[in-house]
Chains A and B, each alone.
Chain A
Amino acid sequence: MKFDVIIIGGGLSGLTASIALAEAGKEVALVSAGQNSLHFGSGSFDLLGFDEQGKAVSEPIAAIAQLSEKHPYKKVQDVEKLAQQAKQLLEKAKIATFGDTTSNHWRITPVGALMPTWLSVEGMVTVQEPNQMPWRKVALINIQNYLDLPTKFLAAGLRERGVEVDVKAFTLPELQALRQSPTEMRSTNIAKVIEQHNLIASVADEVNRLTSNDYDMVLLPAVLGIKSNAQADQLLQLIKTPANYVATLPPSVSGVRIATLLRKRFTELGGTFFTGDQVVEGVWEGETLKGVKTAKLDGTVLEANHFILATGSFMSRGLAADYTHVYEPALGVDVDDLGLDRTNWAKIEVTDPQPYMEMGVKTDANLHCERAGKTIANLYAVGSILSGHNTIKRLDAAGVDMLTALQVVHNIVK
């Protein structure tokens, strides 16, 4: 089967590239082995949270200019413009976000820490300044027996910043029923139960019963709206006090929604999606990639003029390691292992910057991959598989995903 462009990997970077190429009129196929890292996300998109000295970033564009040459952003020609395009791409997929590149705002993690971020989906709780919390008194309202919102940590985090916090919980018979299989009391199942049984009004009643205008903010776990924002928005309207959602531990309902809406947008644009299939090898002609073979299509070669590798980092199996080396398993392109031997891949202290986090596939200035030292002119890499940055220490994941993807689309389409 022949396409204009084939994207390998259906996470945020692969979906962004696929949608932008389909919007540009290309015939696109997306091959993805299973779901992606969006399912663990916070409902916020980070651009650059911390600079290379570890200092929190408030003006990301200026801070990006200061990054070292090996950072993937250095291969993005106009960060500001592509960031705007990224936000519009999300909007067209019906993912409404707030925030922009002029200044970061702060998201609250499930364990009560504050992190600088770029875009957040409507309804998520954020603050402008970490040292000036906008609330005096907050009600943190959980669903009884829902364990993926660590309310003690969250409350402690807020109290440290001078906010008075009351932790409360409610339940409804339909939600209590979920406890019959205790392992299944998960965010996405709660979301499904609330939607199927039309429980929005009852949830709002419970929240209103537990709160009063003594609170200036009500925080609820983000467990609503797998397919769209509609019900999540509706609930906030029915609550009498100003209310917002706070991120939970995975699976993340907002992340699942983002992934679902992006996939839907791609399909509506006429894109072809090879779901749950894995690229296992490339078909090469000299230094040109002619096609890819997958685990499920037996002999069928998927051919294209251009290919984009967006298979993620170690956790998504875009990168792999054995006892001797780090490698890229799908196409065997060159990996930058920082010249380290195995004993130095990781540091003992988990909180130390981990060298393996900076490993990834090698690319040239136009994000082309290399194989056996030679540049592959029709194969690009985007997203977290790229070398040269540490997503945990820089908080730059979604930005790198989306901007490198849009840059490559630009490189291909022009």
Chain B
Amino acid sequence: MATETQTKNVSVNNFEQCLKCSICTVYCPVSAVTPLYPGPKQAGPDGERYRLKDKEFFNEALKMCLNCKRCEVACPNDVHIGDIIQAARIKYSTQKPKLRDMMLANTDFMGSMASPFAPIVNPMLKLKPVKGILHGVMGIDKHRTFPNYAHQKFETWFKKEAAPQQDQYRKHVTYFHGCYANYNYPQLGKDFVKVMNAVGYGVHLLEKEKCCGVALIANGLAEQAKRQGEVNMASMRKAIAKGHPVLTTSSTCTFTMRDEYDHLLGIDNHDVRDSISLVTRFLQQLIEKGEIKLAFRADYRKRIAYHSACHMERMGWVPYSTRLLRMIPNIDFVMLESQCCGISGTYGFKKENYERSQAIGEGLFQNIKEVHPDCVATECETCKWQIEMSTGVPVMNPISIIAEALDVEETRKLNEK
């Protein structure tokens, strides 16, 4: 009985495992820049004890949490501090999302509205008066520039230019491109297709892809996120049934679908989770097993600084990407200190968060300036916007770097057998 009590007495998110050591506080990027935030320990396991007694103890200041999970990575006792905080927001927050939050959160709706009008929308979003309205009326900070919307969506390009050739390959994968590759930066998706085809894999899209929902969760729209998540899971099940693993290029989409679906939204993803992987991890594992080979251009040279995006760090997958990048022969590779860039998806776009967002990123920006790289490598698209805006250094997804450095013909030959 005693043993039973001890071994089975583990609560949701390990909240009773907290030793009150305060290590999480040391690594919280928000705590570091604002005294108004109660910090991970107080907002997480400590506050949870009170909230369990009375929901009145819920504090709206919890919305300042970036959900970066750096506290969880630091905690020696595996307390899911970030999960506790996000779950409390979903359960107790009474604030309704504003129109602005709905807009920022619905990345795919915004994308499908904007893409056809990209030549008009892009310059408009850069105009001073428009930014003024967004700032004043909508609360979207005037310092931010919306990422460009592409005129041709990735999906449209793929169906026209790539899809017909994909069945000729012997092996296949399904690509979850995410909103960013689809609406803002189709080149990322094209790079993905280029590399996968070169190593002998045909690429397919999901029957139905919805935004992973990360921005919906952050903006208090958990119900909608859950509905979208269920659609993704259903499509993924079909792909997996055909024997196709589901690959991604964005760390945050990956993390959300693998971990947040289950922990925060209560979506049952246990049969799908292991088949969702980041493309860099997938390739690194195949190379390690000797199943594929990459050949690189001899003339490719670049000084590359790798930034560990928060959710890469949380997934524990950074070494897959860095080991893959380090295979490129003549690059100069530098690891940046692992720290948050401050944007955290839609967080940094909000007028009330702008200053905090930049203050959080300051350490990283300084580090990048000292290292003086040709480009920063990271798997997170919102990190890309933030770092490019704040340092002027171009940011590339590791798969785009691989695509750029790849000797396609040679790689094809190596993988033909």
Give A contacts to B, CB under 8 Å.
1-2, 29, 33-36, 39-40, 177-181, 183-184, 186, 188-189, 192, 196, 226, 250-251, 256, 264, 267-268, 272-278, 294-300, 315-317, 322-324
Contacts and interface: CB of A to CB of B under 8 A. Distances in A.
Given A35-B74, A186-B22, A272-B322, 15 more contacts: A1-B319, A35-B27, A39-B26, A178-B35, A181-B35, A181-B36, A183-B39, A186-B25, A188-B26, A192-B33, A251-B22, A251-B23, A267-B335, A272-B323, A275-B318
B327 interface: no
Contact of A317 (B76, B285, B322, B323): B76
20 contacts: A2-B288, A34-B73, A34-B78, A178-B35, A181-B42, A184-B39, A186-B22, A189-B32, A192-B33, A251-B21, A251-B22, A251-B26, A264-B337, A273-B319, A274-B319, A275-B338, A276-B73, A277-B316, A298-B274, A315-B19
Contacts of B338: 275
B31 interface: yes
B75 interface: yes
A63 to B, nearest CB: 32
Interface residues of B, number: 47
Given A39-B26, A277-B316, A322-B3, A183 B46 contact: yes
Nearest to A11: B76
A226 B285 CA distance: 37
Given A276-B72, A277-B316, A323-B2, A40 B21 contact: yes
B401 interface: no
A184 B37 contact: yes
A33 B26 contact: no
Contacts of A186: 22, 25
Nearest to A321: B6
Contacts of B314: 276
A413 B319 CA distance: 25
Interface of B: 2-3, 6-7, 19, 21-23, 25-27, 31-33, 35-39, 41-42, 46, 72-78, 274, 284-285, 288, 313-319, 322-323, 335, 337-338, 359, 362
Nearest to A312: B76
A311 B259 CA distance: 26
Question: Which residue, of A188, A276, A316, A324, has the highest number of chain B Cβ atoms within 10 A?
Answer: A276
B76 A36 contact: yes
A267 B308 CA distance: 13
A181 B22 contact: no
A276 B319 contact: no
Given A267-B335, A275-B313, A323-B6, A35 B76 contact: yes
A34 B338 CA distance: 14
B13 to A, nearest CB: 15
Contacts of A296: 315-317
B361 to A, nearest CB: 12
A316 B41 CA distance: 18
A383 B190 CA distance: 50
Contacts of A275: 73, 313, 316, 318, 338
Contacts of B7: 322
A264 B370 CA distance: 15
A370 B2 CA distance: 30
B78 A180 contact: no
Contact of B35 (A184, A295, A297): A184
A14 to B, nearest CB: 13
B26 A324 contact: no
Nearest 3 pairs between A and B by C-beta? A276-B73, A296-B316, A34-B76
Contacts of B313: 275-276
A39 B37 CA distance: 22
Contacts of B335: 267-268
B147 to A, nearest CB: 29
A184 B36 CA distance: 9
Contacts of A33: 76, 78
B21 A39 contact: yes
A223 to B, nearest CB: 12
A181 B3 CA distance: 39
A179 B33 contact: no
A183 B35 contact: no
A296 B73 CA distance: 11
A2 B21 CA distance: 34
A295 B316 CA distance: 9
Question: Which residue, of B315, B322, B335, B338, has the highest number of chain A Cβ atoms within 10 A?
Answer: B335
A184 B21 contact: no
Given A183-B42, A278-B78, A296-B315, A256 B26 contact: yes
A250 B323 contact: no
B25 A251 contact: yes
A40 B20 CA distance: 12
B23 A274 contact: no
A34 B318 CA distance: 15
A386 B237 CA distance: 48
A29 B46 CA distance: 34
Given A39-B26, A278-B78, A181 B285 contact: no
A251 B24 CA distance: 10
A277 B319 CA distance: 12
A336 B296 CA distance: 53
A323 B1 CA distance: 10
Nearest to B284: A1
Contact of B38 (A183, A251, A323): A183
Contact of B75 (A34, A196, A264): A34
